[in-house]
Amino acid sequence: MNAIISASELAGELTGDDPPVLLDVRWQLSLAKASGEPPFDGRAEYEAGHIPGAVYVDLDRELASAPGSRGRHPLPDLAEFGTAMRHAGVTSGTPVIVYDGGQGWAAARAWWLLRWTGHPDVRVLDGGLPTWEGPLETSVPTPAEGDFEPVPGATELLDADSAAALARSGVLLDARAGERYRGEVEPIDPVGGHIPGALSAPTNENVAADGRFLPAGQLAARFKALGASEGTAVGVYCGSGVSAAHQVLALEVAGIPAALYVGSWSEWSSAPSRPVAVGADPQ
């Protein structure tokens, strides 16, 4: 099953006999404290206009726990996550399609969580809301309660120790911008640099200028050049486990299964005892 869907395909499915559950996960990484600008309000954006039938999901509150020693976006409490998904109408037997404002990171986080907890049919709208040419609505739907019960473990999850081990034995990709990987800048976390042995693979190089994923063959060639191909143990991390989910999705499109280190750099760098590499050299 393809992990992504085009806007035209989504329009067709929404008018079919068995329409999917549609989740709107608009979110942006907030640097409001540093910039002085007000924080991004995904719910307000949703209420101003969304794809008909879509239910809003709050990434910070429903797809993650509170920030702490496990990172800025640690795994959510599974009972609370399950409740949120059922309130959104998610059932185990109905396809789910997730979209965001176009960057794809937040939608991929929802996709990964639903897949990791056992939902069999989840896809991301390729390119997000900007690709949608149909009508938008402002009314907030009240879907029938779903029956989805999250059972973790359907896909592979990394912690700090297993990520470090994978960097030595397989391929660990760092999805952040290259300057953060090299430790030249670090606007969010306390320490710049990368996990020793990890390879720089910025997420934005997986998409075209319009935010849509590159063709599967092109993605596969990119990852192969980094040493990641089918049959290789591959993992991904980023700053807080959000953009890395988008890279896991890109690898899925390319036919390469990959594990996600949810805690990512925000967890790794919080412990002074963990080693940090800087510069372009993985080590």
Residues with active-site annotation: 238
- Which of 124, 99, 116 lies closest to 49 in space, CA to CA? 99
Compute CA 99 distance to the chain's CA centroid, rounded to the nearest angstrom: 11
Residues in contact with 231: Cβ distance below 8 Å, sequence separation at least 6, in sequence order: none
In angstroms, the CA 268 to CA 214 distance is: 30
Residue 275 CA: distances (Å) to CA of 69, 164, 171, 283:
17, 10, 18, 10
In 66-222, where do the E strands start and end? 96-99, 122-125, 157-158, 171-174, 199-200
**DSSP string spanning 116-155?**
HTT-S-EEEETT-GGG--S--B-S---PPP------S-SS
